[in-house]
Amino acid sequence: MLLAILGALIIGLSLGLFGSGGSILTVPVLMYLVDMPADVSIASSLLIVAGISLFGSISYIRRKTVSWKHFWAFGLPGMAGTYGGAWLGTLVDSRWQLLVFSLLMIVAAVLMWRSKPRAPDHVTAMNYPKVTLEGLVVGVITGFVGVGGGFLIVPALVLLAGLAMPVAIGTSLLIIVIKSLAGFVKYYAVMASQNVEFDWLVIGLMIAGGVFGTVFGSKIGRALPKEKLQKGFAVFLVAMGIFVIAKSVL
């Protein structure tokens, strides 16, 4: 249980420091620190990510930095995509999921390494077809490999939907909540019919630890050089992706 809490704190810290990328650590933490099977880890991570993101969205809702029309435009196709991705995930060997997951970690690392702050007043017209398609695609990825996808959603909301960065982050957190819940519902329905048991205590501890880590990470993030931390975390993601491939796929 201590390892689960430690892993959740690490996830929360990374989310608090960078605003995205932390949820991609959930599956490795569940597999290698908690010793949870790969398929159960992928399913459980969706519920954990949803719980942590829901808490993180509260402050954005209070500050009214959530765009509800973008939430629905991206979120509804995202829910459908996540449900379909979860269904696909139940049909394939978990090694394929882990391979895709590992490659996604490397993609996330590249995006974090190249990421630069955007002007807060950067606003363009919303491209509804592209936003809808992006929501569907990101949703499929979310359901298939069990990640929140914030590192893909935030750039899409800024570049395709024309949102300022603070609003994009707040909107992204709520989108992650509904997408992740949709994917978990599908995994749970299939796995429950196969008598697969979920460790609800570990899931609860991970959510609680992640919430605490997020609060702590956001505070220390204001006092540390964020760009250097982000590049360091990108290198860590690459190393973790290679480790997952070597450990679970090869």
pLDDT digits (tens, 9 = 90+) for 56-110: 888 889 988 889 988 998 989 999 999 999 999 888 888 888 888 888 878 877 8
Nearest to 48 by CA among 201, 161, 195, 204: 204
Q: Which pLDDT score is estimated for 188?
A: 94
Contact in structure between 164 and 19 (CB atoms under 8 Å): no
Q: Give the other-Cβ count within 10 Å of 163's Cβ.
A: 25
Nearest to 47 by CA among 150, 160, 182: 182
pTM of the model: 0.82
Tens-digit pLDDT profile for residues 36-65: 998 899 899 999 988 988 888 888 899 888
75-113 in b/e form (b: 16+ CB < 10 A) is bbbbbbbbbbbbbebbeeebeebbbebbebbbbbbebbe
Q: Give the DSSP letter string of 69-102.
A: HHHHHHHHHHHHHHHHHHHHHTTS-HHHHHHHHH
Tens-digit pLDDT profile for residues 188-212: 999 999 999 999 999 998 888 888 8
